[in-house]
Amino acid sequence: MIDLSQSEWIEQKEKDVDAVILDVRTDEEVAEGIIEGAIHIDIYGGQAFLDALDELDSSKSYYVYCRSGNRSGQACAIMNSKGFEKTYNLRGGVMEWQGPLVQKD
């Protein structure tokens, strides 16, 4: 896991052909808006969270965020323990996000 500032996170993600954005916030938090293109998997989902990770392609690069950067850091650590080698945590999370948020489909 690597912690990245918003500018680093965006710049690296845009150059990464294997980039996947992962939002690990709760449903209530996601209802306030989500980074466009993000997949939502609630880290508080317990076994459902782990099962959802098993469905992801571990060879891809995952750009992970939450509200403040703490849960996404935990999610990256869990993903690393499950064989994901490229996980990038958005330092400061949505609280410090300066870009647009969209409503989840």
Give the catalytic positions in this structure. 66
How many angstroms separate the CA atoms of 20 and 69, rounded?
Answer: 17
**H or E stretch at 81:** helix 70-81
How many angstroms separate the CA atoms of 8 and 22, rounded?
Answer: 16
To which residue do tokens 């990464």 refer? 16
Do 99 and 10 meet the contact criterion of CB atoms below 8 Å apart?
A: yes
Chain CA centroid to CA 33, Å: 14
